[in-house]
A and B are shown apart, each in its own frame.
Chain A
């Protein structure tokens, strides 16, 4: 059955036009065939006499399968396969030739392949004892394996030291396209008692912190500045209100709430502080969402106070308490973590008086509020004891410069110092 069309693999014989005994001319139609694509008459490929039909009417035949036998005039050896496929002979002839070669010729007897030498050395085999079944009497890998299996291991030849583990001996020249670069495995030889090292698995959260910090430090050119604020009025104000506040609201009135309000009001006056670097433009965010850095024993998270500009001091205090509690309990949701536009870190809570924060990527700046310390301060050429605190700011120097940040910090300072005993929380 010939291939009549692209991608055709079989055809159905519709009707034979010639019957056994009929003589056929070259190219004379012998049958009609049907396929998915075409219906056609099948011409004869030889002149002769149709001897036998191999596939009857309606039979589906694969391409390449003989469908009939035609006796040709010049063929004395009865019938020839008219349709297709006469290639069988070459293969078996080759086989015959090479088996002849094998029996007579021993030219390959001493040609040892790497695999044979390797196996012979491994098993301590005297190769003179091994029959070769390969081409030209060659000893094949299989010959060695069956020799070993048959237990005819020669006692006289000892296994030579083979200090080559085939698993380790894999050699690669250069780096192959198809593989990822190998990471060297370093094994610690032995733990030295008393002063060895030990390993801490990196938790997913540690990994996330590391990645964010590295991204921020490598991408953002950081600059840093600090200002000193007199918070005496806030201390007095808080002392006056805090007991009442706990009773009424159930949460503590912290200095952080006052600071937060002062920062948010300053951002309103300097919206550029609330922005993101986007290579060809700077995106200024209208919503002021303050990320609050909350530390736990083994990590730091930055939950977000959303729309902080629309909340009063009491509202902020309640939200700080809520987020801090959720953080410690590990109950923060993804929603609590998203959308921050500016970060505040209350570093004073752990006693710091000066810190150099890393910006919470991709924001433009981060502000820290340091410990409140009583210090002698000169006011109107007189020395007074005042409650002082430092405020530090790290800034993205692509977006912000010294002048604007100086003004922003000055505004924060003014806001903080303008609190007085008349200030209301609501």
Chain B
């Protein structure tokens, strides 16, 4: 099985979907001639031509609006937001139009659009290139949101997103692009939207999260098992909306001690909802307070390296939080 980087898996998914279905096309800033600022769409214009790989003006509202309109008319657009930070001018299109059109038209219209956006920090990007916007979109019924952790999931989830009949936000972590490599089959598989994935079995604590921080969690879990005999059960949500409640229930019931991890800031994040679900449904399974390890509630990712390091999660932070929970 070929081993490839996370970013290559995303590119391969787009390429395969464009080959499979003529209605699939890509649009965004610099996605064509330049091949994307991260090279995510590199080679697509050469292969599929400029009518299927559109370089757009610097106007995210228009990128989303054009994609949503095309989707409502039967196309399968993949819109790229260069950084998820730039997505906010498009939120009105996404939340008020894409998410609601099926409901508003009583099922006459639908909007099978995929909006890809690189999230997260740790790349010295500062305020405008590091944000995690999940919580902005998370509470919007009508949207599906996925955030892959591995290269395998990145390809499978993106293909599932393209084929989904409703709008899907695809949040890829930009630090994972080159950091994460893995085996990715070159056949046509999908990872179903709405299904979480157990990354690691364990008896002592349960860690629930998504995207980049789970790599730190997995490293910490390996060390904790070896050094201190603490066995962590790790659940990758993969899909943030809709949450896989069955998998959450199963993972929590396994140990009764839960740590929720994400890079987005703590207040009002995805973890808050996961914690609420657990509190609502699993009170009698809990053996410790639900704990969260998240980004701090400060307005922005700092640009100076020490502060960025303070903001970002890492293996040490994950390890300490996991140890504290195990000892509770």
Chain A interface (Cβ < 8 Å from any Cβ of B):
3, 5-9, 87-88, 90-91, 94-95, 98, 102, 113-118, 134-135, 138, 140-142, 164, 166, 169-173, 176-179
A-B contact pairs, 30 of them (CB 8 A): A3-B124, A6-B124, A6-B174, A7-B177, A7-B178, A90-B316, A91-B323, A94-B320, A94-B324, A95-B323, A102-B327, A113-B287, A114-B285, A114-B286, A115-B284, A118-B284, A134-B327, A134-B328, A135-B328, A141-B255, A166-B284, A166-B285, A169-B284, A170-B281, A172-B280, A176-B245, A177-B141, A177-B241, A178-B242, A179-B242
Interface residues of B in 193-250 (CB under 8 A from A): 203-204, 228, 241-243, 245, 249
B287's contact among A8, A90, A116, A176, by CB below 8 Å, is which?
A: A116
Instruction: Tell me the smallest distance from the CB of A71 to a CB of chain B, in Å.
Output: 24
Q: Which B residues are CB-close (under 8 A) to A6? A: 123-125, 129, 174
CA distance A102 to B38 in the complex (A): 50
Known: A7-B177, A115-B256, A135-B328. A178 touches B284 (CB 8 A): no
Known: A135-B328, A172-B280, A177-B139. A91 touches B320 (CB 8 A): yes
User: Which 8 A-B pairs give the minimum distances between C-beta atoms?
Assistant: A178-B242, A141-B287, A6-B123, A115-B287, A115-B256, A141-B256, A113-B287, A114-B284
Across the interface, name the chain A residue whose C-beta is closest to B204: A142
Q: Which B residues are CB-close (under 8 A) to A88? A: 316
Instruction: Tell me the smallest distance from the CB of A114 to a CB of chain B, in Å.
Output: 5
Q: Which A residues are CB-close (under 8 A) to B282? A: 170
Interface centre among B174, B177, B179 (most CB of A within 10 A): B179
Q: Which A residues are CB-close (under 8 A) to B257? A: 141
CA distance A98 to B203 in the complex (A): 21
CA distance A3 to B285 in the complex (A): 43
Q: Which B residues are CB-close (under 8 A) to A9? A: 178-179
- Cβ of B283 < 8 Å from any Cβ of A? yes
Instruction: Tell me the smallest distance from the CB of B178 to a CB of chain A, in Å.
Output: 5
Known: A135-B327, A138-B328, A176-B245. A7 touches B256 (CB 8 A): no
How many residue pairs link A and B with beta carbons under 8 A? The number is 93
CA distance A421 to B160 in the complex (A): 68
Known: A140-B287, A176-B277. A98 touches B124 (CB 8 A): no
B316's contact among A87, A140, A172, A178, by CB below 8 Å, is which?
A: A87
A140's contact among B242, B243, B285, B328, by CB below 8 Å, is which?
A: B328
B123's contact among A7, A87, A90, A173, by CB below 8 Å, is which?
A: A7
- Cβ of B291 < 8 Å from any Cβ of A? no
Instruction: Tell me the smallest distance from the CB of B156 to a CB of chain A, in Å.
Output: 20
Instruction: Tell me the smallest distance from the CB of B291 to a CB of chain A, in Å.
Output: 12
- Cβ of B11 < 8 Å from any Cβ of A? no
Interface flags, B141-185, vs A, CB<8A=1, else 0:
100000000000000000000000000000000110111000000
Q: Which B residues are CB-close (under 8 A) to A95? A: 228, 323, 327
CA distance A115 to B206 in the complex (A): 14
Chain B interface (Cβ < 8 Å from any Cβ of A):
38, 123-125, 129, 139, 141, 174-175, 177-179, 203-204, 228, 241-243, 245, 249, 255-257, 277, 280-288, 305, 316, 319-320, 323-324, 327-328
Q: Which B residues are CB-close (under 8 A) to A94? A: 320, 323-324
Across the interface, name the chain A residue whose C-beta is closest to B118: A7
* Cβ A7 vs Cβ B38 within 8 A: yes
Instruction: Tell me the smallest distance from the CB of B127 to a CB of chain A, in Å.
Output: 14
Q: Which A residues are CB-close (under 8 A) to B241? A: 177-178
* Cβ A171 vs Cβ B281 within 8 A: yes
Q: Which A residues are CB-close (under 8 A) to B228? A: 95
Instruction: Tell me the smallest distance from the CB of B260 to a CB of chain A, in Å.
Output: 16
Across the interface, name the chain B residue whose C-beta is closest to A91: B320
CA distance A169 to B285 in the complex (A): 11
CA distance A49 to B129 in the complex (A): 38
Q: Which B residues are CB-close (under 8 A) to A179? A: 242, 245
Q: Which B residues are CB-close (under 8 A) to A172? A: 280-281
Q: Which B residues are CB-close (under 8 A) to A115? A: 256, 284-287
CA distance A391 to B271 in the complex (A): 67
* Cβ B242 vs Cβ A177 within 8 A: yes
CA distance A94 to B256 in the complex (A): 23
Known interface pairs A8-B178, A94-B320, A170-B282; 12 further A-B residue pairs with C-beta atoms within 8 A, sorted by A's residue number: A3-B305, A88-B316, A90-B320, A91-B316, A95-B228, A98-B324, A102-B327, A114-B284, A115-B287, A141-B256, A142-B287, A172-B280
Instruction: Tell me the smallest distance from the CB of A82 to a CB of chain B, in Å.
Output: 16
Known: A7-B38, A90-B320, A91-B319. A178 touches B328 (CB 8 A): no
Known: A7-B178, A176-B277. A113 touches B327 (CB 8 A): no
Across the interface, name the chain B residue whose C-beta is closest to A84: B309
Across the interface, name the chain B residue whose C-beta is closest to A94: B320
Q: Which A residues are CB-close (under 8 A) to B323? A: 91, 94-95
Across the interface, name the chain B residue whose C-beta is closest to A102: B327
Across the interface, name the chain B residue whose C-beta is closest to A166: B284
CA distance A395 to B204 in the complex (A): 70
A113's contact among B256, B281, B320, by CB below 8 Å, is which?
A: B256
Known: A9-B178, A115-B256. A178 touches B288 (CB 8 A): no
A7's contact among B175, B285, B324, by CB below 8 Å, is which?
A: B175
Instruction: Tell me the smallest distance from the CB of B175 to a CB of chain A, in Å.
Output: 6
* Cβ B327 vs Cβ A173 within 8 A: no
Instruction: Tell me the smallest distance from the CB of A369 to a CB of chain B, in Å.
Output: 36
CA distance A172 to B248 in the complex (A): 14
CA distance A178 to B287 in the complex (A): 26
* Cβ A178 vs Cβ B139 within 8 A: no
CA distance A127 to B174 in the complex (A): 50
Instruction: Tell me the smallest distance from the CB of B225 to a CB of chain A, in Å.
Output: 15
CA distance A95 to B278 in the complex (A): 28
Q: Which B residues are CB-close (under 8 A) to A87? A: 316
Q: Which B residues are CB-close (under 8 A) to A166? A: 284-285
Instruction: Tell me the smallest distance from the CB of A278 to a CB of chain B, in Å.
Output: 13
Instruction: Tell me the smallest distance from the CB of B246 to a CB of chain A, in Å.
Output: 10
CA distance A172 to B279 in the complex (A): 10
Across the interface, name the chain A residue whose C-beta is closest to B243: A178
